[in-house]
Structure formats: structure tokens, C-alpha cells
Homo-oligomer: A and B are copies of this chain.
Amino acid sequence: MQLTLKTDYALRILMALASTDEVLSVDWLAAHYGISRNHLAKVAQALTAAQLVTTTRGRSGGMRLARPPAEINVGALVRSFERFEGFVACMGGEEPCVIEGACGLKPALGGALKAFQSHLDRFTLADIARRPDAIRDRLLQGVS
């Protein structure tokens, strides 16, 4: 059981942006996190589409947060990037289970996924990036 790389990268981008007032480019983020530029670029597009970041073009262009970190909810973010419907094959997966309708696993897992999300709903980007200077320092040290 794992968060997708997409959600992981979305959280990393947002935390980096929460750590500075500067505009950060995908190239800068890829170099400083030491992760794939292509993957990051796709996630950056999704964050722009979700109106969580704004993008400026050009040589000194890049991303910045579209709203304050305290107004970006972690649970909502994870929901918008993760697919929970296919969490187990019987829950909307491509391979429906033979005992579907007779087994009580779906509501149990559904409740567990709700509990997971409800816990994350308690956090905003400001909470998980509550040490912006430390994040910034680590990113600056991390350049490859």
C-alpha cells in the first residue's frame, strides 16, 4: 500500500513553494529534490489545473502558490491526486470479485479509507510546512 508518486511529488512541490515567496521552476525543483523533471512537470500541470499554483512563463518564470498554505487542505489534496475507487479489486477495479455482494469487506475498507482521509483533513499545507526555513535550507543543500 503506497501513495502514488504523483501525490508524493504534488506534496513536495507545494512544500517547496510554501517555504519561499520566490517563484520556483520545475527545473529548479527537479535539481534540488533530485527527482525526475518529466514526472515533476506533469504534476506541476495538474497542480495548475487544480488552481493550487499559478505559473508564470519565461526565463525567470515558474510556480507560486495560488493561495496561502493555511488554505490548502492536505486531505483534499490527497483526494484530488489519489484514486480510492480501485483501492482493492472489488472496489471499482477492472476485475470484479466473484463474491461481490456477499462479502462485507467493502464497507470495512471504505470506512478505513474514510478514517485515513478524515485524519489528513485536519492538516493544511501550513501545518506540514511549518518550518519553511528548514525546508528551504535542505532544498538549497540538496542541489545536484
Contacts and interface: CB of A to CB of B under 8 A. Distances in A.
Interface in A55-86: 74, 82-84, 86
Nearest to A3: B88
Interface in A21-53: 32-35
A142 B112 contact: no
A102 B5 CA distance: 20
A129 B116 CA distance: 23
Interface in A102-119: 102-105, 108-109, 111-119
Contact of A99 (B4, B12, B98): B12
B87 A1 contact: yes
Contacts of A82: 1
